[in-house]
Chains A and B, each alone.
Chain A
Amino acid sequence: MSLNKCLEIFLKYWPSFLLGIKTTLFVSLIGTIIGLLIGLLVGGLRAINVDDNSSKLKKFLKKIFNLISTLYIEIFRGTPMMVQAVFIYYLVYTNIIPWDKVVAAIFVISINTGAYMSEIVRSGIQAVDVGQKEASRALGVSNIDTMLHVILPQAIKNAFPAIGNEFIVNIKDSSVLMIISITELMFQSNSIAGTTYRFSETYFVTACIYLLMTSIASFILHKIEKSLSHTTTSLPQSDTNFSSISLAKEENS
């Protein structure tokens, strides 16, 4: 493998790579955002507690919802996204409607991400100290306002590193969507390698581009995370020791 050859391939085929980058970023960004919305809905509902005082109907609905959402989460986390992509794409294509590949790709990456996000959001919500929820209820604020204005903002902030990580993962893992031939970076690289017959050089360029994208994304996410924790902290009281330990570590390194 020669670096010169890599550069040559990049210079010659950069428009193809660029299209790949665009598609990859587009699919993974939209997929992460829709996945987060799914996660907020599913994880938010999963975090609702029913206790002895709840009505029978509420308990019943909660049970049904838990069952369905657990199935959803386990199935999508327990099977490869590549398999999900081909299965769902062809299932819909042949049985329902011949849909656009990019739409299919966004659909698959969204529900796949949603499965992970649901658990991230649920644990983020459960990490918010219950005292604040009680205080809000005691003030006569409705459950929905309490959720939207007290719990979720803190849950999202708590979970922000994990949420951001899903975006990074999606940048990389959207490569499996080449299986349904959308023009994301991996698919483009395959075509380029197929024309040049320079496999190691082409994929070296591809790897560099992925690394660059994930590095930039993680840099930006880090900035956002910092600005979130600048003015406030939502760690429950019992966690303050933990946060000072991790601070001390950062200072040492």
Chain B
Amino acid sequence: MSIIEIKDVKKNFHNLEVLKGVSFNVEKGEVVSIIGPSGGGKSTLLRCLNCLETYDSGSIKVIGEDLKEIKDMNSFRQKVGMVFQQFNLFANMNVLNNCIFAQTKALKRNKDEAKKIALENLQKVGMEKFINAYPNTLSGGQKQRVAIARAISMNPEILLFDEPTSALDPEMVEEVLNVIRSLVNKGLTMIIVSHEIDFVRDISDKIIFMDDGIVAESGSPKEIFTNPKNERTKVFLRKVIRN
């Protein structure tokens, strides 16, 4: 059984058909990257996977659960972490408390244990010196590293990234990508939406090319980047690689 099974998923926003029948599976521990032009439905699909968005038809199973039949939404979401383009750190909490909050409130860990786990993960992302800082005093790259520490402190089985470096100044992109690289091979399943072509080629087990609400092509990074079959993939890759 795959950890994520997506079957013929369709979604409309009012009159706009955003997902037009998307299907693919993700295996446990895989790193899957979704690439494709803007407006193709990548974020919408990703947000469906942790129920921030609903879909109209088709089926999605995540960790064995049908998303339309989830009884305990909060405990489901604890298993599926998400890292956002805009970081979305809690502005009223310092770095440490950003990483502790959901552990104590949602996982009901005690404060000491949560703190220990938060500190470990802040160390992993190189933010242990900033535990008392508030988000508004951090750079974009620092914020995103804290957001990653916050997400992995929940020990999720799946981690979703929606363009984690798109809101960053160029010089901060690499520090965040390095942190994401360091998460690979820990048995963590990751789905990454990103425009960083070199990074996704490097890190992914599988690439999904989404365009206009469908999976236009999918395969290993080698297949997609060296020998794309779909005309739209070729056009897209020519554009992004030229840039």
A contact set with B: CB distance below 8 Å? 52-53, 129, 131-132, 134-142, 145, 149-150, 153-154, 157, 231-235, 237
Contacts and interface: CB of A to CB of B under 8 A. Distances in A.
Contacts of B150: 139
Contacts of B75: 140
B18 interface: no
Interface string B64-105: 000000000111111111101011111110000000011001
A145 B105 contact: yes
Contacts of B91: 129, 132, 154, 232-235
Nearest to A138: B82
Contacts, number: 83
Given A157-B92, A234-B92, A140 B77 contact: yes
Contact of B102 (A53, A131, A139, A233): A139
A224 to B, nearest CB: 16
B52 A149 contact: no
Contacts of A157: 92
A242 B178 CA distance: 34
B52 A138 contact: yes
B118 to A, nearest CB: 13
B222 to A, nearest CB: 33
Contacts of B74: 140-142
A76 B107 CA distance: 43
Nearest to B167: A237
A153 B81 CA distance: 24
B54 interface: yes
B142 interface: no
Contact of B136 (A138, A140, A232): A232
A131 B92 contact: no
A212 B86 CA distance: 46
Contacts of A134: 52, 84, 88
